[in-house]
Amino acid sequence: MTTLRLGTRRSALATTQSGWVADRLREAGHEVEIVEITTEGDVSGELLTAIGGTGVFAAAIRRALLDGRIDVAVHSLKDLPTAPEPGLVIAAVPVREDSRDVLVARDGLTLGELPTGSVVGTGSPRRTAQIAALGLGVEIRPIRGNVDTRIGFVTSGALDAVVLARAGLARLGRLGEVTEVIDPIQLLPAPGQGALAVECRSDRDDVVAAVSVLDDPDTRACVVAERSLLATLEAGCTAPVGALAEVVEGDDGLELSLRAFAGSEDGSVELRRSLVGPYDEPERLGSRLARILLEDGAADLQVATSAGPVPDHAPHQPEQVS
């Protein structure tokens, strides 16, 4: 095969993730050229809900794929809309990084140790809703920016803490700045958080074959369940939703355990449900749990939540820090 042109955003995290995929492809015997692409989400300083929400980081890269300017694209999976993109296929979902959220706080504090009135920064309604539901008495402030910007809010004293995805900090080698890895019992991650999607054109059988060796079946099963839940909820860009699927050992072999959250941003409504299902039916498991949430009140919650603007991004929208 000729050299694979791998498209990526220009951010430090995106190029790090793409570099990791490129190295795996080179180990498999392929030549890889990195092609940097600027997306609307990279150049706009507006809140993501104002410029289109889901897909603002992925759209330009997907156009480059469809136009034949690149052969392969690497995305943070939670950047991608749940609806399939005609003409493209996610050929590989590599092994997932730790999907949990983390706290970076002043004085080495944990979430539970933050004094009442502390100011915590996040751009995510999902995190806002779950932290508010904990009743810790902290103020949550919407923020946007890359890892340096967000952590800088803490080191400068502008904020007492920020909440980020552990996966992004791990890939950037910055886990030493984490003061707490937050248990999913408190804060469920975004669907697909910590996972990468390696995408290519569906009519390029040669590229699909080259990339598919990177696929991790356990990771794919988990993220399919999480994204199926999100798609069935039809959460839109304003519904705070968290989800985490894990492979577990059942009586008859491997199963999937799926936990989900839906709630109001002020923390007054909190729905947490879970379900276990067959390993080989992740899409069905996700849609079943979503229907349970809808029956238990998530449908009404979505109507109320979507009536007004929210800061930055929803749980399945892209975060600049992964």
**Token pair of 269, please?**
């409504």
The DSSP letter of residue 32 is E
Closest CA to 222 of 202, 193, 198, 182: 193
Closest CA to 92 of 181, 264, 237, 210: 210
User: How buried is 1 (Cβ within 10 angstroms: 0-12 exposed, 13-18 middle, 19+ buried)?
Assistant: exposed
Bridge partners (DSSP) of residue 246 are: 257
Longest dimension (CA), the chain: 59
Is 98 among the residues known to form the active site? no
Set 23, 71, 79, 251: catalytic member: 79
Torsion, CA 108, CA 111, CA 113, CA 118, rounded to 10: 90
CA atoms in the 13 A half-sphere facing the CB of 178: 19
Radius of gyration of the chain (CA): 19
Bridge partners (DSSP) of residue 180 are: 103
Cα 97 from Cα 178, distance rounded (Å): 16
Catalytic (active-site) positions:
79
